[in-house]
Structure 1
């Protein structure tokens, strides 16, 4: 089994194990795709067409308001699914951008093909539901952090969830994710015992 397929299967098994046949049917939907650094894969206002599986690289999902202020919402990196999931599942225009922060290698499947497979493969529908439930749980945790935690507590939570994040995400994006000015980020790092 090639490395890409194995990585996808390990991630799928962590969410909801599939039979060999169901996994093969799911895997055949995914095609290789590469993107350059700072490439916008999904624009606000467009409908997400793909489910991405990250093999290499770093991406972010962000919101841009009418004053051109950005809010980084989510990072994706190796062995994560990515894309604008609400737009894909609802087939409605996205309010968010999905962009690469580094050169990236993906496997990606079109939503139309996934939708077709869901009709005949209930286990894949369960996989998708469990995956989305996990995403929803993460969003609720993040809302609590945003409303109740100090910047230091938000940063500590982020490091607990993703201890390697400091090595892969540029600090200006981490500062944006936490909601502080980038100039204060180095003070925050120095104030926390790691």
Structure 2
């Protein structure tokens, strides 16, 4: 089921990203989203990819190197909460794939206290038409609170400036992965 949310997210982002754009992967994980973004921005574009785990950044670098995309990406071993300290560029897209590193320590998870500042700061950097994508995982420890708070946050954004979409399956349990998209008008 997660694949549907990620596929939909990538379709929306692909329409928003042009060659030469700057984008951010706030949760590098195993590198799949960073690779996707690097392919979208082309040789003149730039991807900033954050993760607090060196293992995640090493995996991401391997994925990029395999595809000869490493020159398009700056890997940052830091919390996404510090996004605005690393760039003030207008961004076409920002991706979050919240939760834990697949194949990693399930006790190391994204936390609302770092995710919310990243979301808030990231929205300030999005260019008009730019999209923020967040895969939410309410099933992991702390994930339900993180997901619910981010959904409430998106609902409260002024519709004059943002459009937000909550993509989830109605006939699955509430712990199923969900997608939250925010576009700047």
TM-score normalised according to structure 1 size = 0.27
Higher RCO structure (Cα 8 Å, ≥6 apart): 1
* Higher Rg: 1
TM-score normalised according to structure 2 size = 0.28
